[in-house]
Amino acid sequence: MPRSVVVTGASSGIGEATSRLLAAHGWEVIGVARRADRLAALADEIGLRPVVADVTDPAGVDAVRAAVGGRLDALVNNAGARSASTRSRTRTSTTGGRCTSPTCSEPSG
């Protein structure tokens, strides 16, 4: 029985590359992403089980749980999301840098 893994953010970037690598090494990949078209294309190419879901939504988490069924050997939590609280703390400094820490300050000079 192959090992199973859920990869969130599987439709592009690091999540896609991770899905490809794990599938090539015999893992059963359950790929999760919001972009159905890209996920379907990847499923056709590497044989992953696609789950179109937003893991920031409880219904999306339920869809992933249903797709897994029973045993799960690994989780690659790669979904990209920014919460409203993170956005509110992010600001651009006068030097053009980004600061996401609630205690950020300008560089001393």
Q: Which domains does the chain have, with CATH numbers?
A: 4-76 (3.40.50.720)
Can you tell me the mean pLDDT for 64-85?
Answer: 84
**What is the reported pLDDT for 84?**
56
pTM over 0.75: no
Sheet with 4-8: list strands edge to edge. Answer: 49-52, 28-33, 4-8, 74-76
Q: How far apart, in whole angstroms, are the C-alpha atoms of residue 39 and residue 43?
A: 6
Q: Name the pLDDT band for 30 (thresholds 50, 70, 90).
A: very high
**What is the reported pLDDT for 83?**
55
Exposed / middle / buried, residue 48 (Cβ in 10 Å: 0-12, 13-18, 19+)? buried
Can you tell me the mean pLDDT for 29-35?
Answer: 96
Top pLDDT among 100 and 74 is at: 74
